Amino acid sequence: MGYTCFELRFKARSPIFIGSRKIGFIQQTRRYIPGKTLWGAITSNVARKLIDEGVKYNPKVYEKVGKCIEGYVKNTYFFPEIIGQKKRNSKDTFNPSFTKEGLKYGQCSEREFESTFISSFVSTATLGSRNSAMDESLHETEYILNKVNCKTGVKQVYWKGYLFVKEDISGKCSVKNSEEFEEIELGYEGKSIKLLEALSEIRVGGDLRYGFGTLELCKNKVKKIEKGASVFNWDLENTDRLIFNNGCTNEESAVSGKNFEGNPIFGHLLLNTDEIGTYRGELEPLVGRIYDSKKGFGRRLDSNGVAFVPGTCFGDKINKIELDSCGLLKFSNLD
């Protein structure tokens, strides 16, 4: 049995800060929610609610629940969306794309997107004895707004992405799948909760103590999608391995005699040096801090290698990709 696929939208209840690079004293935010960030939020909510249901607290609960979700409740990256910006009920999703004119988000240029969606706050540490600013402690932090000013007025920001659920009842942590999203259950040692309940409100990113990162699931906007449907303009070709096709084959490119520039990727795509061909985009190393059972939170460095950033477009050799754990993508047609 393959994965059951759902399109999700979260309503941004507060601004979001997803740490990226630092330039001088400016801490930049990513313009999307990475899959691993969302995986962490889902894992945290599911584990806590299972403990509330009677599962005995143990750090191992989080670890086992996280591994179960990583394999059987896969998610894509999530991108900002505005409803009714141009026409009533029209939906504009602002996922990145490297074009001939430069980096764009949806139909907006990078500059237009940042002036609409990005704001920042400035803070500094103080010296209590003198009630003055500490030297070299001034810093500015970017964040993505939860409401933006458009030509048609103030609009609510939503976050759009996809969730793929597969049944597994073989281990201590289980997933009971269903065609109806509200019936999907996650269990641990005989206790279970509804996935819908765990996703009703999640918190993602950094600076949560300042009220950032609160997302509310739009329950009435959850939509089941079938094989062949479009996921960020990639066709869902295979629901067993979660393979996506960009809509053009190598044979079609050969007939046209031109390099086909496909759709932008919707997550980090792990680098494969075999016959990559041409591309327009950027590469970055995927390095982060994760939990260590002996040292604590953020005490161990973890690396997934080097990857193409979301929005990268490829030539004719890259027409299939596969969704892996935590929203990462990998090549599927270079085997």
Average pLDDT, integer, range 72-95? 86
Smallest Cα–Cα separation from 24: which of 144, 141, 145?
141
**Residue 256: is its pLDDT beyond 80?**
no
Answer yes or no: do 185 and 258 share one domain. Answer: no
At 247 the three-state DSSP class reads coil
Q: What is the pLDDT of residue 254?
A: 42
Answer yes or no: do 242 and 93 share one domain. Answer: no
Percent of residues, the chain, with pLDDT higher than 90: 59
CA distance 173 to 335: 32
Task: Report strand pairing: 313-314 vs 296-308.
Answer: unpaired
Q: What is the pLDDT of residue 171?
A: 78
Highest mean pLDDT among 28-32, 138-142, 248-252: 28-32
Q: What is the pLDDT of residue 257?
A: 38
Q: What is the pLDDT of residue 211?
A: 86
Choose the final residue of a domain: 225, 240, 263.
225
**Residue 253: is its pLDDT beyond 50?**
no
What range defines the domain where residue 307 resides? Answer: 228-335
Q: What is the pLDDT of residue 275?
A: 58
Answer yes or no: do 261 and 114 share one domain. Answer: no
What pLDDT digit, counting tens, does each position of 321-330 carry? Answer: 999 989 999 9
Q: What is the pLDDT of residue 298?
A: 63
Q: Write the DSSP string, 138-160.
A: -EEEEEE-SEEEETTEEEEEEEE
Are 259 and 316 in contact, with CB atoms under 8 Å apart? yes
Answer yes or no: do 25 and 55 share one domain. Answer: yes
* Full-model pTM: 0.89
Choose the final residue of a domain: 225, 242, 273.
225
**Residue 277: is its pLDDT beyond 80?**
no
**Residue 333: is its pLDDT beyond 80?**
no
Answer yes or no: do 113 and 214 share one domain. Answer: yes
pLDDT band at 122 (very low <50, low <70, confident <90, very high): confident
Helices and strands in the chain, H and E counts: 5, 31
Are 66 and 75 in contact, with CB atoms under 8 Å apart? no
Answer yes or no: do 187 and 109 share one domain. Answer: yes
What pLDDT digit, counting tens, does each position of 59-68 carry? Answer: 889 989 999 9
Q: Using alpha carbons, list the distances in angstroms from residue 332 to 41, 142, 159, 246, 317.
A: 28, 36, 27, 12, 11
Q: What's the chain's average pLDDT?
A: 86
Q: Is 5 or 170 the better-scoring residue by pLDDT?
A: 5
The domain total for the chain is 2
Choose the final residue of a domain: 210, 225, 240.
225
